[in-house]
Chains A and B, each alone.
Chain A
Amino acid sequence: MSYQFDFAYIWANGPALLGGLLMTIQVSVVSILIAAGVGLVGAAARVLRVPVLSPLIVGYVSFVRNTPLLAQLFFIFFGLPAVGLGLSIYASGVLTLAVWGGAYNVENVRGGFLAVPKGLNEAARALGLGPMHYVFLIAIPVGLRVSIPAMLNTAVSVLKNSAYLQAIGLAELTFVAMEKVASEFRTLEMFASIGVLYLGLVLTLSWLVRRLEDVLQRPFRER
């Protein structure tokens, strides 16, 4: 084989890759924020057993978990315009990722809430705290310690899954690289660069999640 790995080529395409990287980060951050909101609202409805809404959210979560993300994306981008709900590439991408991450976040937040020991509720009542005080002073501070690391893990998955958006033509990292591969055939250079970039992003984020988890668990550790 006479394939010559060309570092200068990567350097020359730095700006294009950087543009893709920024788009990846931007679309991920927006989706992650919306997904966090969806998760909080959805979990609240589940925990409070809001009639009608609560079973709908159960259905939503199980639907998203049991269907491929690519199919969800294509349904939103190609399917919805057929019934008059056309969205731009960017909006479709954000919607898909937010709907996907939101479903996982509902379970993440709910899991944190369920992780609050029952004894705390009884103790709070015995001390004369009302339900609102219980929720804000006890359930949320205790529950979020479990929820936040889980939500951040979902955020990392959203970031990775933003690569799916290349399939509908959003100019994010994978798309930029694939376009270069298709026109200039420097396959290894391009894949090596985006591989390193994704690895760097994900490893940094997971490291931060682990550190944060450590900090959040500190008050509960035996001394």
Chain B
Amino acid sequence: MQLIFDNLGFFLTGLGWTFGLAGATLLIATVISAVVGTLSVTRSRIARLVALCYVEFFRDIPLLVNVLFVYFGAPLIGIPLEPFSAAIVSFSLWGGANGAEIVRGGFNAVPRHQRISAAALGLKRWEIYWYILAPQAILPMLPPFAGLFTLLVQATSLASLVGVGEFFRVAQIVIERTTMTQGQSPAFLIYGGVLVSYYVICSALTMGTHWLERRIADRTARLPATGRQAARAAATATGRPQESL
């Protein structure tokens, strides 16, 4: 216990990096998701194919391999990345692929007649997306994106493998240091504490996600039938099951 208090500042710094990493990743991944997700619901077959390849590629290759590849592969194309940037790049590419599926589910959940009526009213292609589809699709996307953030917080532990000083790496360093100075490994205590900390953080985030889900369900319950349909469909129609980590 003493050990944890002695290193409290160190642990908190690690947590700061963890959240920094997850937050920065979420921002970039959201942009990628919006682009790739929209491509996957356009009428152009090539755009859909590109989106499909992107999503499949990054979802089917283990994230760990992705992280190692970005870190060790980047110098070969002449842009050496330090661990933190490499982690952000690879998590963003992965998060973008998962987010794209959420965006696709959101767009697909908007009833077809919305798009058709808008076209009949003479709106341009981009106007249909921007004024008609996006506003209806965004609300049901929020809970899955909150879920994605929880996954990202957990995913950041992989950054420790390439040497980012986030929470998990800090724990490893504390264990190594204590083992060397005191001759006895506190791995059980520290890794146990690490698990509990992640659990507290992530279940709080999960609870937030459920709260958001209920709030949005309440809101859409008051909407006319189409809105409710959309919310229900979005909950189930995210294409493939949400990634798990």
Residues of A within 8 A of B (CB): 1, 3, 62-63, 65-72, 74-75, 78-83, 104, 150, 153-154, 157, 160-161, 163-164, 166-167, 174, 178, 181, 187-188, 191, 194-195, 198-199, 202-203, 206
Report whether A70 and B186 are in contact in the complex, using a CB–CB cutoff of 8 Å: no
- Cβ contact of B62, chosen from A74, A83, A160, A181, cutoff 8 A: A160
Report whether A67 and B188 are in contact in the complex, using a CB–CB cutoff of 8 Å: no
Report whether A187 and B76 are in contact in the complex, using a CB–CB cutoff of 8 Å: yes
Q: How many A-B residue pairs have CB under 8 A?
A: 124
A68 touching B65 in the complex, CB below 8 Å, given contacts A1-B77, A62-B203, A187-B76: no
Q: Is B157 an interface residue (CB 8 A)?
A: yes
CA distance A178 to B161 in the complex (A): 12
CA distance A72 to B195 in the complex (A): 7
Report whether B241 and A75 are in contact in the complex, using a CB–CB cutoff of 8 Å: no
Q: Is B131 an interface residue (CB 8 A)?
A: no
B: number of interface residues (CB 8 Å): 45
Report whether A194 and B65 are in contact in the complex, using a CB–CB cutoff of 8 Å: yes
- Cβ contact of A202, chosen from B60, B77, B195, B245, cutoff 8 A: B60
Residues of B within 8 A of A (CB): 56-57, 60-62, 64-65, 68-69, 72-73, 76-78, 150, 154-158, 160-161, 168, 172, 175, 185-192, 194-195, 198-199, 202-203, 206, 240-241, 243-245
- Judged by DSSP, the binding face of B is helix
Query: B241 — nearest CB in chain A belongs to which residue?
Result: A153
Report B-chain residues with C-beta under 8 Å of the C-beta of A81. 187
- Cβ contact of B168, chosen from A71, A80, A150, cutoff 8 A: A71
Q: How far is the CB of A98 from chain B (nearest CB, A)?
A: 15
- Cβ contact of B61, chosen from A153, A154, A198, cutoff 8 A: A198
Report whether A188 and B73 are in contact in the complex, using a CB–CB cutoff of 8 Å: yes
CA distance A105 to B204 in the complex (A): 23
CA distance A150 to B191 in the complex (A): 31
Report whether B72 and A68 are in contact in the complex, using a CB–CB cutoff of 8 Å: no
Query: B154 — nearest CB in chain A belongs to which residue?
Result: A68
- Cβ contact of B65, chosen from A66, A104, A198, A203, cutoff 8 A: A198
Q: How far is the CB of A217 from chain B (nearest CB, A)?
A: 15
CA distance A149 to B186 in the complex (A): 41
Query: B200 — nearest CB in chain A belongs to which residue?
Result: A66
Report B-chain residues with C-beta under 8 Å of the C-beta of A153. 240-241
Report whether A161 and B62 are in contact in the complex, using a CB–CB cutoff of 8 Å: yes
CA distance A189 to B128 in the complex (A): 45
Report whether B61 and A199 are in contact in the complex, using a CB–CB cutoff of 8 Å: yes
Report whether A150 and B241 are in contact in the complex, using a CB–CB cutoff of 8 Å: yes
CA distance A174 to B61 in the complex (A): 11
Report B-chain residues with C-beta under 8 Å of the C-beta of A194. 65
Report A-chain residues with C-beta under 8 Å of the C-beta of B203. 62, 66
Report A-chain residues with C-beta under 8 Å of the C-beta of B161. 70, 167
